[in-house]
Amino acid sequence: MSSQTLEAPAVTGYDLSSFADWLLINGKNGGSHSPKSIKAYCSDLRGFIQWFLEHTGQEFAPELVTSQDLRAYAHFSNEIQHVKAATWNRRFNALCWFFKFALQEGLIKFNPFDKAGLRTRSIQEAPPKSLNKSDYARVLRVVEQSINTARTGNQRRMAIRNRAMFALMACAGVRVGELCALRPSNLLLSDRKGHVAVEHGKGDKEGDVALGREARLAISDWLQINPDEILFDGLTSRQVERIVADFGQRAGVQLTPHMLRHTFVYRALEISGGNLALVKDLARHNRIDQTARYAKPHREDLEAAVENL
């Protein structure tokens, strides 16, 4: 991948393409940076370069930047611009990586960033975005109505298929990539229990997903009219995302497949009384701290608590 697609010419005239190329092969723990991160870092650096020109009256050069300049820029960002913590932390990382690059490439002899004493700002972590009870009920109603209002046999077939996909994501936490890879042979259903055998989950791991009654009924209805070996018509992840987004739009909420998985985990924690160990296995998380993120109160919970004080 060339930096030509990642780095536009800087307004100040300073070329960051070498830095963009360097980021492609240098990252945390010997890794690399994503194109999205590289684009963001270069954008932040252009902002710093413009600030440097206005603040010092000098054309930017790495060797001209002092620790005092970096502290002044931190003050400008946080106390004058009042940028959000996430924005400052990204600027912090952009500067950190740039001066590592400059030192390694021999553009500077000393790293001013190391002596500046800059710090990132803490961010109150919000729980993963999921549907609250009323939004979930509205989306579920749209899913059911799409079957009842179907005018042709093909429309009804697709609506039943979509309800089965929705149930696997929202009632069993199946990821969209896992969903698209499923075959009928991965399903084991009965009146009282059922599960899905995921062969290639996140990290290419195998695992079983338990299915509740709601999911079993939706999937059974679909299997009765779809005897094919391809479970969901060979839909791609992008096509499923569009179907889910359409459900959300009709219900008046923003919706993605990942939000449906988040909703499943959040509901499972609520119903289980906060049993992290149980929900960790249901969600197929590697670590319990991944599950614990969902135990954080949502904005609606906080608002309700304040209202009831």
Q: Are strands 187-189 and 194-198 parallel, antiparallel or unpaired?
A: antiparallel
pLDDT digits (tens, 9 = 90+) for 174-228: 999 999 988 888 888 877 888 888 876 565 556 788 888 888 999 999 999 987 8
Helix (H) or strand (E) holding 199: none
Query: What distance in Å separates the CA atoms of residue 199 and residue 106, rounded to the nearest whole number?
Result: 49
**Closest of 167, 212, 164, 171 to residue 190, by C-alpha:** 212
What mean pLDDT comes out for the span 17-43?
A: 89
Share of the chain above pLDDT 70, in %: 89
Would the pLDDT of 77 be above 60?
yes
pLDDT digits (tens, 9 = 90+) for 111-122: 999 999 999 998
**Closest of 215, 251, 257 to residue 236, by C-alpha:** 257
**In which band, very low, low, confident or very high, does the pLDDT at 129 lie, cut at 50, 70 and 90?**
confident
The CATH code for residues 133-307 is: 1.10.443.10
Query: In the CATH scheme, what architecture does the domain 3-116 have?
Result: Orthogonal Bundle (1.10)
Delimiting residues of CATH 1.10.443.10 domain(s) in the chain: 133-307
Share of the chain above pLDDT 90, in %: 59
Would the pLDDT of 303 be above 70?
no
How is the beta sheet containing 187-189 ordered, strand by strand? 187-189, 194-198, 207-210
Question: Three-state SS for 210?
Answer: strand
Whole-model pTM: value is 0.60
pLDDT digits (tens, 9 = 90+) for 137-158: 999 999 999 999 999 999 999 9
Delimiting residues of CATH 1.10.150.130 domain(s) in the chain: 3-116
